[in-house]
């Protein structure tokens, strides 16, 4: 069969949030290579003859280094035909999807990209937190909390000085540094939400401020996979009670 690689974004976790086009790609797959954050329910849509390969990555555990994974995707396409690379969220948002697609293209393999709903946008929305809101926030930054060398991104310090909403992925291990950066620019009272397992039945959410969030994380035992949302828009979450009322009043409601 003609080799092909299709990159499919599976969305934030809830299997129903995958696109129809992404679902059709799985149904047409000869082999599916899926990540740790992908709902295994989606694998049931693959043909019975399709090979299913787990290539997940978690902090502290990795089935494949990226270079080996790139080669595995190519080998699967050349051997079996249509290889669907199923990735959580959107594969072009901190998903290394471009690296995988460009590697396959070097072998003359046909490629396609099917976007997914990024957890950076979907998870706050599902929790009732808008990333932008008239009169509250005009923009947002989406940042990785952990760089290639496992340190906190320097962009966090730059973003902390803006009035934009900050959405930090993969940042739980650096939460104390994030708090320090924000406190250092006078934002100790800025609202913060941390959402673990967003969009899933086991979702947990902690709401507080930069000053209090570390204690809330410890009390609620919040951990990865989680998203950190920082900014005045967090006041619009129902858990803020009076703070939410004040925020809505400022908007004229």
Active site residues: 35, 57, 170
Structure tokens at 8: 């499919």
How many CB atoms are located within 10 Å of the residue 169 CB?
Answer: 22
d(CA 181, CA 211): 11
Pairing mode of beta strands 140-144, 165-169:
parallel
d(CA 44, CA 175): 37
| CA dihedral over 133, 139, 145, 148, signed as positive or negative | positive
d(CA 195, CA 151): 21
Classify residue 122 as left (phi > 0), alpha (psi -120 to 50) or beta.
alpha
């Amino acid at each position: 069969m003609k080799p092909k690689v299709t990159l499919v974004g599976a969305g934030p976790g809830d299997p129903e949030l995958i696109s129809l086009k992404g679902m059709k790609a799985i149904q047409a797959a000869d082999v599916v290579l899926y990540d740790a954050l992908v709902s295994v329910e989606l694998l049931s849509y693959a043909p019975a003859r399709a090979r299913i390969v787990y290539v997940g990555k978690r902090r502290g555990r990795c089935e494949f280094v990226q270079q080996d994974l790139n080669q595995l995707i190519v080998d699967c396409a050349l051997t079996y035909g249509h290889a669907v690379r199923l990735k959580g969220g959107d594969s072009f948002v901190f998903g290394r999807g471009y690296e995988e697609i460009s590697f396959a293209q070097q072998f003359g393999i046909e490629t396609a990209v099917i976007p997914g709903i990024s957890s950076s946008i979907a998870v706050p929305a599902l929790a009732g937190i808008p990333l932008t809101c008239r009169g509250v926030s005009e923009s947002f930054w989406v940042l990785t909390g952990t760089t290639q060398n496992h340190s906190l991104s320097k962009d966090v310090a730059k973003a902390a000085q803006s009035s934009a909403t900050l959405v930090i992925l993969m940042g739980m291990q650096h939460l104390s540094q994030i708090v320090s950066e924000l406190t250092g620019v006078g934002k100790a009272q800025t609202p913060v939400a941390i959402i673990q397992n967003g969009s899933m039945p086991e979702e947990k959410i902690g709401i507080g401020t930069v000053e209090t969030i570390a204690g809330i994380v410890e009390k609620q035992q919040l951990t990865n996979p989680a998203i950190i949302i920082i900014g005045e828009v967090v006041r619009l979450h129902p858990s803020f009670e009076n703070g939410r009322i004040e925020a809505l009043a400022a908007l004229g409601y």
